[in-house]
Structures are given as C-alpha cells and as structure tokens.
C-alpha cells in the first residue's frame, strides 16, 4: 500500500465518566502494527471537558496524545465530537483512524467516513497484513462467518471489537499536546438535554477478567444464586444467557451474546449453558473456558478448555467450597 504522506495512526479514545474506555486503549495495539508499516506515530485523541486522567492513561501506550478540551464536548454530543475528530484528521493527515466498536465509536467513524468519503470497517477482531494489503477480520452472522475486509482509502476508518486486541504494555509517557477546536454553533444539530441513568448495579462485563455465566440449565432464581456466589468469590462478574434473563433470574445488563455484550475475559465459566451460536459469538474471545453441563453433547463443550459433565447444582457447591478452602489457606 502506498501511504503517501500519511504516516500517523490516529486513535479516538472514548471516555466514560472521565476515564479512558478499555477498548479505546486496546485499539492502540493494531494502531502500533499499522504505524510499523507506515513508519509513523500512534497518536491518541482525547476529547472532553477534563481529559487529564484519560490522557495520562493513553500517554504511556502511544507516541503522542492530542487533547481537545472544551465545554462543547461536555455532553458527549456526537456533532461536536465529529468536528474535533475531523479537525484532527485534517491537521495530522493520518493513514488510519481507529476507535473502539462502541455506539459512539461506530457513530463517529461512520460520520467521519461520510464526510470524507472514507472506506469504513466496523467491529474488526483481527488485523492481517498480506503483501501490501491491510485486512481486517470482521465476524458476521453471529460469528459463524469471518470476513476479511480491506478499506481502500487513506485514511481508513476502523472500529475494533472490545477484547479482540490486548492493551499495549505501558512504557515511557509520551507528550500530551493541547489542541483547540472551535465547534460552530450550526454544526450541532442535536444535543443531549438530559441523561437519565438506569438505577441498577454497574455491570462491566466487557472489562471483566472473570465471568461466571448461568443459563437455562440453572433451573430457578434460587439456583442462579450459585452462579452469583461463584462470581463474587472469584472477583468476577455474572453473565447470563437470554433465557436466564427472560426468566428474570438476573437483569438484562448481564446478557452475553449476539444481542447482549461481547466479552473477552481471561476466565469464562458457563453453567447450564447449551452453547448456542448466538451465545458463543459473544464469548468466543474468552481466554479459558470452563463449561458445566449435564449433556455431554452440548455444543458449549466444543469451545471449552475444560468440560465438566454433571449437574451444575451439584458441581457448583463443590467448586465454591473448594475455592473457599484454598482462599482460606
């Protein structure tokens, strides 16, 4: 690929309540691979009202942080954020613009692509370099088909799936450059007037290192408490299949799968989960999978590193007791 004068890779680093969102930091990893090809820098772009914490986090993982601060960016307004992103793309002429595959990341890259006529790839889970071609792997049909997608424009705009890439190792902190972007009043076509937070427990499945998931096989809300107990004991987060949620054993925020959250913990324990495609597509990026199911032919065993054939209501109490004992030693 002829990169021309485009060398740098720009990564939009989304923030949530003043903190850098993990998938934004993870996007710095494929950015580093691309920068190795172009000979350019990896630049993280942070936009908000107080970028200090996110900029500090990014600085140790890239070659430079661009910090755009201003009251216009306070409510996460996509119109204003797109202005900032476009201004930085025009100024730094990157070869690629990357973001996390979050609703905001998808919206911003799509808007940028529409404005600048860019090739856009969404939800990439891997990056391959073949000859001089940059290929992004994009799962479709619930992860049953993996497409290799090439974006033939410079810059290209790409979102990456949470958990698909590891965060870069921290090294010496790069400089943070304050940039100013004026957002014209007529550029803002829609504003967030009020944000109403759901009053529920915070469920951070995407960033969890351990997830214990319960499926229909748990049988009842009372039995589902075993899943919660094991998750708590391991310092993990509770996941659930769709039927477990439909049974109201746990809130929808816990759903893993095609229409729930895409997760990639180091350890995933599936209890009474059959392993339907729509579920597996959400957890196949897990590091180590333990499955407990009484049906030895359950498809979940195809993706499990350790399979326990048995009744979850008998296996889980033993596991819990054993872990308690070991923790007490």
For ligand FAD, the binding residues (CB under 6 A) are: 215-217, 241-244, 255-260, 272-274, 276, 278-279, 282, 292-295, 298, 311-313
Q: What are phi and psi of 279, to 5 degrees?
A: -85, -50
Instruction: Classify burial at 256, counting beta carbons within 10 Å of its beta carbon; exposed 0-12, middle 13-18, buried 19 or more.
Output: buried
- Token pair belonging to 126: 């891997």
For ligand FAD, give the closer residue by CB, 51 or 293: 293
For ligand FAD, give the closer residue by CB, 11 or 271: 271
Which residues make Cβ contacts (< 8 Å) with residue 225, sequence separation at least 6?
A: none
Q: In angstroms, what is the minimal distance from the CB of 243 to ligand FAD?
A: 4
For ligand FAD, give the closer residue by CB, 101 or 293: 293
For ligand FAD, give the closer residue by CB, 168 or 257: 257
- Token pair belonging to 35: 């920068």
Q: For residue 19, which of 64, 59, 56, 62 has the smallest C-alpha distance? A: 56
Q: For residue 211, which of 237, 241, 242 has the smallest C-alpha distance? A: 237
Q: In angstroms, what is the minimal distance from the CB of 240 to ligand FAD?
A: 7
For ligand FAD, give the closer residue by CB, 148 or 302: 302
Q: What's the Cα-to-Cα distance from 56 to each of 11, 59, 278, rounded to whole Å?
A: 15, 5, 38
Would you say 71 and 47 are in contact if contact means Cβ atoms under 8 Å apart?
no
For ligand FAD, give the closer residue by CB, 82 or 293: 293
For ligand FAD, give the closer residue by CB, 127 or 300: 300
Q: In angstroms, what is the minimal distance from the CB of 205 to ligand FAD?
A: 12
Q: What are phi and psi of 236, to 5 degrees?
A: -110, -170
Q: In angstroms, what is the minimal distance from the CB of 140 to ligand FAD?
A: 13
E strands present in the chain: 9-12, 15-16, 19-20, 42-48, 64-69, 96-100, 120-124, 126-130, 133-140, 145-149, 156-160, 176-179, 210-214, 237-240, 267-271, 288-293, 306-309
- Please tell me what DSSP assigns to residue 98: E
**Helical axes 103-116 vs 78-92, angle rounded to 10°:** 60
Which residues make Cβ contacts (< 8 Å) with residue 75, sequence separation at least 6?
A: 191, 192, 195
For ligand FAD, give the closer residue by CB, 168 or 243: 243
Rounded distance between C-alpha atoms, residue 43 and residue 305, angstroms: 38
């Amino acid at each position: 690929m002829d990169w021309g004068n485009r060398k740098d890779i720009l990564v939009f680093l989304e923030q949530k309540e003043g903190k850098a969102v993990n998938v934004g930091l993870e996007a710095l990893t494929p950015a580093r691979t691309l920068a190795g090809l172009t000979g350019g820098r990896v630049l993280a772009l942070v936009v908000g009202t107080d970028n200090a914490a996110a900029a500090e986090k990014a600085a140790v993982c890239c070659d430079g942080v661009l910090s755009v601060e201003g009251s216009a960016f306070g409510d996460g307004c996509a119109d204003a954020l797109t202005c900032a992103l476009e201004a930085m793309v025009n100024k730094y002429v990157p070869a690629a613009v990357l973001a996390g595959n979050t609703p905001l990341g998808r919206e911003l890259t799509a808007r940028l692509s529409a404005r600048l006529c860019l090739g856009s790839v969404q939800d990439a889970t891997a990056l391959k370099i073949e000859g001089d071609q940059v290929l992004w792997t994009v799962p479709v049909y619930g992860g049953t088909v993996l497409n290799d997608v090439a974006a033939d424009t410079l810059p290209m705009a790409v979102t990456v799936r949470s958990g698909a890439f590891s965060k870069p190792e921290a090294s010496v902190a790069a400089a943070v450059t304050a940039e100013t972007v004026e957002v014209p009043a007529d550029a803002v076509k829609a504003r967030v007037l009020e944000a109403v937070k759901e009053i529920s427990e915070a469920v951070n499945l995407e960033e969890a290192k351990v997830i214990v998931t319960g499926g229909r096989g748990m049988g009842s809300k009372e039995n589902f408490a075993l899943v919660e107990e094991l998750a708590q004991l391991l310092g993990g987060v509770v996941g659930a299949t769709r039927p477990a949620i439909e049974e109201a054993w746990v809130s929808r925020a816990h759903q893993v799968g095609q229409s729930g959250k895409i997760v990639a913990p180091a350890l995933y324990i599936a209890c009474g989960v059959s392993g339907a495609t729509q579920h597996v597509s959400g957890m196949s990026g897990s590091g180590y999978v333990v499955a407990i199911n009484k049906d030895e032919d359950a498809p979940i065993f195809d993706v499990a590193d350790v399979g326990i054939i048995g009744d979850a209501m008998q296996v889980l109490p033993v596991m819990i007791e054993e872990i308690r004992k070991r923790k007490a030693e």
